[in-house]
A and B are shown apart, each in its own frame.
Chain A
Amino acid sequence: DGGITQSPKYLFRKEGQNVTLSCEQNLNHDAMYWYRQDPGQGLRLIYYSQIVNDFQKGDIAEGYSVSREKKESFPLTVTSAQKNPTAFYLCASTEGTLSPLHFGNGTRLTVT
Chain B
Amino acid sequence: GEDVEQSLFLSVREGDSSVINCTYTDSSSTYLYWYKQEPGAGLQLLTYIFSNMDMKQDQRLTVLLNKKDKHLSLRIADTQTGDSAIYFCAEILNYGGATNKLIFGTGTLLAVQP
Contact = CB atoms under 8 A, between A and B. Distances in A.
Interface string B71-109: 000000000000000001000101001101110111100
A84 to B, nearest CB: 18
B95 to A, nearest CB: 10
Contact of A100 (B42, B45, B107): B45
- Chain A interface residue number, banded: 20 to 34
Interface string A33-55: 10100001111010000100000
Name the residue in B33, B44, B92 with the highest tally of chain A Cβ atoms < 10 Å from its Cβ: B92
B44 A103 contact: yes
Contacts, number: 52
B30 interface: yes
Contacts of B92: 98
B43 interface: yes
A42 B105 contact: yes
B106 A41 contact: yes
A105 B42 contact: yes
- Of the four ranges (under 10, 10 to 19, 20 to 34, 35 or more), the interface on chain B belongs to 20 to 34
What's the dominant secondary structure at chain B's contact region?
A: strand
A101 interface: yes
B94 A45 contact: no
A63 interface: no
A66 interface: no
B96 to A, nearest CB: 10
Contact of B8 (A6, A40, A50, A106): A40
A97 B98 contact: yes
Interface in B32-47: 33, 35, 40-45
Interface of A: 4, 6, 33, 35, 40-43, 45, 50, 90, 92, 97-98, 100-106, 108
- By Cβ-Cβ distance, the 4 closest A-B pairs, closest first, are A103-B42, A42-B106, A43-B104, A103-B43
